[in-house]
Structure 1
Amino acid sequence: MHGKPEKLEIIRKLLAKAERAATAEESETYTAKAVELMARHGIDEALLAAAEPGRDVPGGTTIAMADPYSAGKARLLAWTASALRCRSVLHARPGGRVAAVTVFGFAADRERVELLFTSLLLQATTQVARQRPAWSDESVAAYRRSWLHGFAAEVHRRLLAAEQRGAEERRDVPLGTPSTALVLADRDDQVDRAFAAAYPQIPVARAASLSGSGLRAGMSAGRRADLGRRAVTARV
């Protein structure tokens, strides 16, 4: 089995190849493999941490968000984090913008989130710059905000399914050790408790209010965001 640095480097290289691929099919092949390895890496790290208490503990990583569409980018990060067993805190700015997002979870999962988000953000920002509403009287900015929302929602749905498949593939563990499902449930509980202690008064985020008509187109793009069917792999 590859060591942790080598695994992550392989994942980075696969995502880089996906971003540079000449065709959507080629990109899907590279990213499907990257997400498959990422899920296995996450499960492996969870099982190792369960066997070695203190190996990994919950904490936070803050990632800056840039305009334009910082709120949509923040939502993509938060929903990616949620699918990969982390929580999120959005640091708001005036005018509905977001200055940064703190991703809270185990270090191994935060690393996965940041690595995947970097690739997804590049895909999303490249595509959203080309988006225009069908009707000339609709705001381009509103359309793009709703497009990003749809993209993030679909990516989140697909990542949740991929993580579940990854966990199911690792159901067999040595006799006398906790099951994979029990280990993951315990990690979720640890993250929830540590998050509540770190942010005891955080308000529940309001649902996004979007007027643009790009939601469906964004969801369609999210389905093509190279987390293919073969992929196995915030509280905001």
Structure 2
Amino acid sequence: MVSPAETIRGVRAGAIAFEDGVVALSVAPAGDVDAALAAALGEAFERLFRGGWQPAELHRVVARRGNPLQADIVADAATNAAEAAGLIDPRWLAQAEELPRAVRSSDRFNLLDAQLDLLLELGRLPPIEVLIPPPGTAASARAANTGDDRVLDRVRALLAKAESTDFPAEAEAYSAKAQELIARHSIEEALTARDRVEVVPYAKRIGVDHPYEGEKAGLLDAVARANHCRTVWSPEFGFSTVFGFDADIDAVELLYTSLLVQANRAMVRDEPAKGKARIKAFRRSFLVAYSVRIGERLSEATRHEIEQHTDLLPVLRGRDLQVREVMDRAFPNTVRARGRRVDSLEGWESGRAAADEAELR
């Protein structure tokens, strides 16, 4: 008689069909099956967590597959890993604690199906760049900066107002003030850090949701470049890795999220009433134009702040080189993305107009 562990190995190796494996596990002793699945999933999660995957990232990749049971399994695994670790980075722990959970009941057959399918999916995921030390390793020495927190809180408040208003002029004013604060704070941070050798670039992965992932990744890249950061888009996982200094990366994430909210609101408001293909072309073209125009506006605002500190140009250039070097070490074989197609003049013009409404001076 084939044991549950042997059945699981057979399915993973392709020697046993997936459906046959689920049936075999469903009629085997429940205690043996649960132990074998728990052991296999535990090994898979340990490999991925040690291989650079953070709780929020792994949860997001699995949740995108549409099975809430599997997303809950990831959340439980992250919590268990955090609780079992003697050493844990507080950022890793915070992600594990904040993962959403959907309380859902399921019969045993569906649960076995979800667990086995998840095990196969986890086996396909490769190691990625370690950005936060995994559980059981030394926590990062990077400390929180209360000054950064205060500035970012002010930026959050301004962007929340920009998102909530129905008046373009108000949204423009709030967003413009937010970008001015971001650019000024980045310069001040560079001034105070130029004599601190230990200050180094960092990286953070930011999820980019479908639909129109490529176009949204283009918006994130435009925001990042205007704020002294660089991005690498990983379409197979649905996230971009943003490289830069801490204050800049945090600001990029805030600004990108807010601008995406504003873009979606304007896009729905202006899109044509009929025709699925026409709406799809409109939205893609809208987001391409919006990203280009936002990039122009953000860069203008950043240049304006830098002009007030021309003596800092060598420091800023040096920081830009550091960011580029860190990115090249992490991704030595990147491929430049192709330009996005614009199939709707109506969408292009509407996207640029919407970007002007969210003008950042």
TM-score normalised to the size of structure 1?
0.84
Deviation at 1:25, TM superposition (A): 2.2
* Aligned pair partner of 2:159 in 15, 32, 41: 15
Is contact 2:294-2:359 (8 Å) kept? no
What does residue 215 of structure 1 align with? 348
| 2:333 maps to amino acid | Q
Is contact 1:138-1:212 (8 Å) kept? no
* Aligned pair partner of 1:121 in 246, 260, 264: 260
Q: Is the radius of gyration larger for structure 1 or structure 2? A: 2
What does residue 88 of structure 1 align with? 231
* Aligned pair partner of 1:45 in 173, 189, 208: 189
| 1:210 maps to amino acid | V
| 1:27 maps to amino acid | A
What does residue 225 of structure 1 align with? 358
Unaligned stretches of 5+ residues in structure 2: 1-145
Unaligned stretches of 5+ residues in structure 1: 172-178, 232-236
Deviation at 1:135, TM superposition (A): 8.7
Deviation at 1:200, TM superposition (A): 0.7
Q: From the two aligned structures, give the one with the greater strand fraction.
A: 1
Is contact 2:180-2:302 (8 Å) kept? no
Return the structure number with greater relative CO, CA threshold 8 A, min gap 6: 1
Deviation at 1:182, TM superposition (A): 0.6
Deviation at 1:219, TM superposition (A): 1.0
CA distance in 2, matches of 1:3, 1:85: 19
What does residue 108 of structure 1 align with? 247
* Mapping 1:112-191, distance limit 5 Å: 112-133=251-272, 139-171=278-310, 179-191=311-323
* Aligned pair partner of 1:59 in 193, 202, 215: 202
Three-state SS of the structure 2 residue aligned to 1:209 is coil
| 2:160 maps to amino acid | A
Three-state SS of the structure 1 residue aligned to 2:305 is helix
Deviation at 1:162, TM superposition (A): 0.8
Give deviations 1:45-83, integer Å, cap 9, x for gaps: 11122121213x112111111112222111111111111
More divergent stretch after superposition (38-47 vs 127-136): 127-136
| 1:118 maps to amino acid | T
Q: From the two aligned structures, give the one with the greater helix fraction.
A: 2
What does residue 88 of structure 2 align with? none
Three-state SS of the structure 2 residue aligned to 1:103 is strand
Aligned Cα root-mean-square deviation (Å): 2.0
CA distance in 2, matches of 1:168, 1:162: 10
| 1:222 maps to amino acid | A
Is contact 2:285-2:341 (8 Å) kept? no
CA distance in 2, matches of 1:138, 1:225: 27
Deviation at 1:193, TM superposition (A): 1.4
Q: Quick check: 1:204 aligned with 2:347?
A: no
CA distance in 1, matches of 2:276, 2:205: 38
Give deviations 1:184-210, integer Å, cap 9, x for gaps: 111111111111111111112112223
Deviation at 1:115, TM superposition (A): 1.1
CA distance in 2, matches of 1:60, 1:152: 22
